[in-house]
Amino acid sequence: MILLDLIMPEMDGFTFLQNLKKKTPVIVLSNLGQDEDRARAKELGAKDYMVKSNTPITEIVKVVKTFL
């Protein structure tokens, strides 16, 4: 399981998703909440997408458990 932010210093999360070769489930946790960001992440293989500032940690844990 990978919890991935989209904004990172060397490589953005979209590029990471494009380059990911494994069948590891990825959940995007980002403060980017635009519909186009959600759609792009899911097209690139993200299992779920949550906006960090709007999602309680208990909800994040719940979603992670569904993919383990």
> CA 64, CA 18: separation in Å to the nearest integer?
21
What domains are defined for the chain? 2-67 (3.40.50.2300)
Per-residue confidence band for 12, with pLDDT thresholds at 50, 70 and 90 = very high
Q: How far is CA 30 from CA 1, 27, 52, in A?
A: 16, 10, 5
> What is the pTM (predicted TM-score) of this model?
0.82
> CA 66, CA 62: separation in Å to the nearest integer?
7
Residue 24 has pLDDT above 90, yes or no: no
What pLDDT was estimated at residue 20? 87
User: Residues near 29 by Cβ (< 8 Å), separated by ≥ 6?
Assistant: 3, 4, 5, 50, 52, 55, 60
Per-chain mean pLDDT for the chain: 93
